[in-house]
Structure 1
């Protein structure tokens, strides 16, 4: 007879799994939480009445060690166990800041915990740790002290090797890694001063010692063509080698779809489905076809059937999960799936049979989806069209373009009619719509940058965008109706404190945001419409955008606030996004079995997968931004000393970020370069105001600036005002030592006089200048 305490809610489950079960994790946590103080192993043994039962004592010891490892409990110096759910103990992931301090992002949600530079000496970005709340910092944030490192995130680091006075160290390229890695002279692996290297960490950092590493690969010289992408890939830990098991799995794949795989599918090969993508696209994962029917429009969105080839738990699946997303660098892609799938079998190339999963929708004249169904199909793309060509056909009515494919004119015109209806419905429901400028880098011979140009979006882009949004909405509704665990693309409502700050800024400008504590997307759109004719419209749009949350993947459907849709799931890009593949698997499971039973994923597993995919999406964005910033700095190297006209894109306590109108390149006009006056930062109006002159610098002001310095390593461009150069030190002379406190003062909106801090500020990739493009509307086709 078991002597397991009957109050253990999981006793039966434990008994089913183990011959000699011990108390469940939940029960142990409950005991520790109720006990007045830490409990030693002996006291727990007595409490659970395990005395003399060696098997159970050993089982309990193993369970406690596992709970320690997973950060559920900690053991103090006297051997007493304490639950981490205790209010003063928080576990989570470390987010480093380039100025030496950091934050702990709690696993359980809630406020981030500030970690001082002293605490961060023992930590690196991405580590998981337990901290004890010791109070609040000067800005009212909870502040923590390190209790224990649960998991180290960095086995390797990429950076530039420095040999100095007989000492070798590597300066990490990753902006969130602020600690140099010491390298013994015997472990240089032939690397030379200034080269970019990959080091394996032999010793992790402690409060007293820096990390120690060993050079395991020389990536190349500092300015080699393409080096910026190699650095970004390695610095952010993006996998780019295919494991042997994956290569073995794809070795037997045939480039043509097998006849047996086409059986039992809906045959769409008679329909003129077409792909519409950018001129440089190589993987085509969506095709569209539209026809007019009595009740409105019938839209078929056919998506590459990746789930047919990537089986659950296979090496391909494991590596796809590991990568989570394709990463698009300027001129190079690191794909989520091998090329034989991404550009071959799964790509909807023209004039070849391909397997697809289809969303078949009936859309009324009001733009709402009246009916929808999903089915497995086989298709043959009628054409690979580009956005520019479709715009010439539909918008410009170019005779030559229209004569090129007369057979496609009718379905394309019908598709354009549907787009106008969907666009009107978008405006009617109040989806938030921002007009932002994206850029692309044009390369010449030897990968030398020829130009940085704006990326033009025409109506053809918007046609595909609206079609993909419709398919994603149908997928979200289907998953909800079937009650099957999957991932939604969630864009939550703005936080109350962000709304408060936004309304304070708007009040200064004589504007207001309706909706009280829960404004709707319509309220935001009404604000944008009211501000559209104002000269400071760009400023208002920027501040509104920054008040919105970031979209994430979650099995809990909270709707998509920016798009004003209650149901939304990414369905349209399974070649390059792992969440889309999971959505396909969920839909296929329902189609084949008729119910959600025996689906190989649980809600809890989807929570973990969603967090992983959201994190990897951010990792990809940071890596791409790093490489792009490097290229822009390289482009500006020969322009030091020249004067250009720019626009103020961000106003912070430590200066202005200015975007050059000619090149769409951004740099910092540091507050110490404003030498003719002392300036105060106003966080409400986002302005810098001169104490004596009264001069105000605000968002979207036009300025003439001189390029003072370009730093490739830190991806920084520094500007000065040409008129101020004679009255003080230039920005190039002002590179001094770091002062975290000065930046914290600037970030907090402190209105003290801004004098010269001890080190130039670096632009934060997650600071006030970061914007979430998806907050303005999901762009699943891009």
Structure 2
């Protein structure tokens, strides 16, 4: 390459090597002015320094501009980074956004340091503005300045190789593009691999380009579908070595500072395939003559706070995950198995530490008092829901007679009391069955079913709610900060939309100020058993706010409770672990309580675990969609019974009751006439005929397209449009004339709400 013309001789200290050495040693102070000042260049000599810098930049030896030069591969002192992974110790690693490897060399990774109580918290997949610093050992690290709104710069897809090199990447999300991979950009990916890619510049013609960043795994594996969801939603699923080592070092808890309750016949009642057991129950008549007909209910919960201490690696990992995530083919736990399935699992006949609450119920079913204890317990029986129900009903079962007589009978008696209190409280009573998928040995769908809802399920659920209320009340009484499980009342906008809809069915709705769950229950009872039952349940569900975690108490509208906190599942929810720690601190129950720094960060913690919960729900839903789409790939052209689960200006979402999944019917395929969208009536109506389709309608549809990787199915309507209720049609005309403006609605949520 041609060199620049040389000027007068520079001082001998002004050499290419000196400039390069200064830039390498001073990445935060490497502007042209800084270099000149450090080397001692003045006046006209600056021109020659400029020549040296120009030569080095042209050769690729340095990068940047006159304000800041770096060696290739160096990071700017402040920039936008994306957290892309973790090191073997579990620390976060970030990469610069928009890094040009061809010009700057290999993409650098820098550790992200976050200190409890200082600065915003960030996790994998998030983009941050960070300051890159150097510690005393000369190691670079990034300190988070702020977390940016998440905008994914990395996507995932399935690599399809081309003969001769390169290939294309098939999308695994509905709105994702297909990309072309040039020869040399495969990074070792082979045909059928799930890969992470970084999109490149858009092309005027052909597919947009991208380069492979890493190979996630093979799509031929049994867990390929859930692997897509894990990476698409940036869910941590591999425990760092240091976290596993910390878990393995933990030993059994002792009786020190604990009450010995091992003789109390507490039992666990869980799904038959449960691997961990975090709650146990017991009930007995209250001997207090002042409480005739009353009972004492005991709920014992695994003492996770004893093992997972604030500031530990286990704690940091649990907060990062937020909760366990449940897929049909696997569970991604919040805690390592050494903790969740061993030391904290309330196994039958094994001593285990627990936090227990004894609650006194009156004869009217109202809780009169409660008290928390830190105990050592021993489960006297491990029961499945079905077995417990059969034993109570007198059906054939394997439950010992003594357990049935002395433990289950009092539990059901206490449940009858608790139901009185619940019926008086009148929580929101939506009937939305949740479907489960059963897989075969190859990870494919074997069957889809609705689990039977037993009194055994309701019994445990009601006792857990009582315990959660007691936890919130105890902490409030002690003036201890905590994280609530909050559910706000429906917004005015949602209530107005619901009122518009119910008017089409000639059902009145009370004014917002006086609205209670009982009002919704009254509406649901009016339509129970009728043609509009499913429709009204769906619309009422959509009118509700989303439950969140927050240190501010706004009550729980759905459960009709003034205060509510999650206490009963610390193995799988970080919120419950925080409440356990708060109880330990507030009630003086020993070690493992809530630290002062944890209290200061409660708001940030609540936001983080609320995000993690939404992330988990989205990943679980996407996985079901992909599994069902894959299951039905061979049934293109077949007809299915369906129910309209969503109505939008673009078309209809239809749910397949037999499979628990849904698909889409474009509005342009509904018929020869133009269909108008009636937002208030949740319907589409033909412009000429006045016939249409409405939310909740049972219809027959034909499968036209299934894209398993994206979890997408497109259907064609087979049922004829019908005459809609006069109230809907007239209301539609009065509001919109011929059809009115078309506005967007969201795709409906599926399944039971999590309270």
Alignment of 1:278-297 (within 5 A): 278-293=271-286, 294=288, 295=291, 296-297=294-295
Residue 179 of structure 1, CA deviation: 6.0
Residue 354 of structure 1, CA deviation: 0.3
SS of the residue corresponding to residue 447 of structure 1 reads: coil
Q: Could you tell which deviates more after superposition, 508-517 or 606-615?
A: 508-517
Determine the C-alpha separation between the residues in 2 that align with 1:205 and 1:467: 57
Does structure 1 residue 393 correspond to structure 2 residue 391? yes
Does structure 1 residue 272 correspond to structure 2 residue 271? no
Given the two structures, how large is their TM-score scaled by the length of structure 1?
Answer: 0.71
1:191·1:218 contact (CA, 8 Å) conserved in 2? Answer: no
SS of the residue corresponding to residue 773 of structure 1 reads: coil
* Partner deviation per Cα, 1:254-307 (whole Å, 9 max, x = no partner): 4xx25xx21221111111100001111111000000111142111110000000
Does structure 1 residue 774 correspond to structure 2 residue 736? no
2:675·2:684 contact (CA, 8 Å) conserved in 1? Answer: yes
Residue 514 of structure 1, CA deviation: 1.7
1:363·1:371 contact (CA, 8 Å) conserved in 2? Answer: yes
Corresponding residue for 2:524?
528
Of 308, 311, 330, the residue aligned with 1:310 is 308
SS of the residue corresponding to residue 632 of structure 2 reads: helix
Alignment of 1:114-513 (within 5 A): 150=148, 154=152, 156-161=154-159, 170=169, 173-174=172-173, 178=176, 185-199=183-197, 201=198, 213-221=211-219, 224-254=221-251, 257-258=252-253, 261-293=254-286, 294=288, 295=291, 296-394=294-392, 396-398=393-395, 400-401=396-397, 404-513=400-509
Residue 537 of structure 1, CA deviation: 1.8
2:80·2:127 contact (CA, 8 Å) conserved in 1? Answer: no
Residue 447 of structure 1, CA deviation: 2.5
1:508·1:685 contact (CA, 8 Å) conserved in 2? Answer: yes
Determine the C-alpha separation between the residues in 2 that align with 1:754 and 1:220: 49
Residue 669 of structure 1, CA deviation: 2.2
Corresponding residue for 1:585?
581
Corresponding residue for 1:554?
550
Determine the C-alpha separation between the residues in 1 that align with 2:669 and 2:126: 35
Q: Could you tell which deviates more after superposition, 642-651 or 162-171?
A: 162-171
Determine the C-alpha separation between the residues in 2 that align with 1:549 and 1:772: 15
Corresponding residue for 2:643?
647
Determine the C-alpha separation between the residues in 1 that align with 2:230 and 2:663: 24
Determine the C-alpha separation between the residues in 1 that align with 2:491 and 2:125: 26
SS of the residue corresponding to residue 158 of structure 1 reads: strand
Does structure 1 residue 696 correspond to structure 2 residue 692? yes
Corresponding residue for 2:631?
635
1:590·1:596 contact (CA, 8 Å) conserved in 2? Answer: no
1:265·1:378 contact (CA, 8 Å) conserved in 2? Answer: yes
Determine the C-alpha separation between the residues in 1 that align with 2:738 and 2:642: 27
Residue 330 of structure 1, CA deviation: 0.2
Determine the C-alpha separation between the residues in 2 that align with 1:651 and 1:524: 22
Determine the C-alpha separation between the residues in 1 that align with 2:199 and 2:631: 37
| CA distance 1:154–1:182, change in 2 (3 Å) | farther
SS of the residue corresponding to residue 455 of structure 1 reads: coil
Determine the C-alpha separation between the residues in 2 that align with 1:240 and 1:421: 42
SS of the residue corresponding to residue 234 of structure 2 reads: coil
1:180·1:210 contact (CA, 8 Å) conserved in 2? Answer: yes
> Would you say how many aligned residue pairs link Structure 1 and Structure 2?
600
Q: Which has the larger radius of gyration?
A: 2
| CA distance 1:772–1:499, change in 2 (3 Å) | farther
SS of the residue corresponding to residue 510 of structure 2 reads: coil
* Partner deviation per Cα, 1:548-589 (whole Å, 9 max, x = no partner): 000000000111110001110000000000010010000011
2:193·2:215 contact (CA, 8 Å) conserved in 1? Answer: no
* Partner deviation per Cα, 1:168-192 (whole Å, 9 max, x = no partner): 564553557x466775532312224
SS of the residue corresponding to residue 513 of structure 2 reads: coil
Residue 544 of structure 1, CA deviation: 0.8
For structure 1, list consecutive stretches of 5 or more residues without a partner in the other structure: 1-64, 71-123, 130-147, 726-748
| CA distance 1:752–1:625, change in 2 (3 Å) | farther
Q: Could you tell which deviates more after superposition, 469-478 or 669-678?
A: 669-678
* Partner deviation per Cα, 1:699-749 (whole Å, 9 max, x = no partner): 222212222111113211222134789xxxxxxxxxxxxxxxxxxxxxxx9
SS of the residue corresponding to residue 263 of structure 2 reads: coil
SS of the residue corresponding to residue 525 of structure 2 reads: helix
SS of the residue corresponding to residue 289 of structure 1 reads: strand
Determine the C-alpha separation between the residues in 2 that align with 1:630 and 1:359: 42
Does structure 1 residue 537 correspond to structure 2 residue 533? yes
2:468·2:566 contact (CA, 8 Å) conserved in 1? Answer: yes
2:192·2:218 contact (CA, 8 Å) conserved in 1? Answer: no
Determine the C-alpha separation between the residues in 2 that align with 1:457 and 1:687: 32
1:678·1:754 contact (CA, 8 Å) conserved in 2? Answer: no
Determine the C-alpha separation between the residues in 2 that align with 1:128 and 1:686: 41
Determine the C-alpha separation between the residues in 2 that align with 1:593 and 1:444: 47
* Partner deviation per Cα, 1:292-339 (whole Å, 9 max, x = no partner): 114211111000000000111101111011111011100310100000
Determine the C-alpha separation between the residues in 1 that align with 2:751 and 2:435: 16
Determine the C-alpha separation between the residues in 2 that align with 1:307 and 1:403: 32
Corresponding residue for 1:657?
653
For structure 2, list consecutive stretches of 5 or more residues without a partner in the other structure: 1-75, 82-123, 130-145, 722-734
Determine the C-alpha separation between the residues in 2 that align with 1:527 and 1:240: 43
| CA distance 1:170–1:479, change in 2 (3 Å) | farther
Residue 198 of structure 1, CA deviation: 2.5
* Partner deviation per Cα, 1:218-263 (whole Å, 9 max, x = no partner): 5113x54321011111221111111122122123234xx25xx212
| CA distance 1:615–1:359, change in 2 (3 Å) | same
1:482·1:595 contact (CA, 8 Å) conserved in 2? Answer: no
* Partner deviation per Cα, 1:406-452 (whole Å, 9 max, x = no partner): 33323212211222222232221221011111111122242232211
2:236·2:321 contact (CA, 8 Å) conserved in 1? Answer: yes
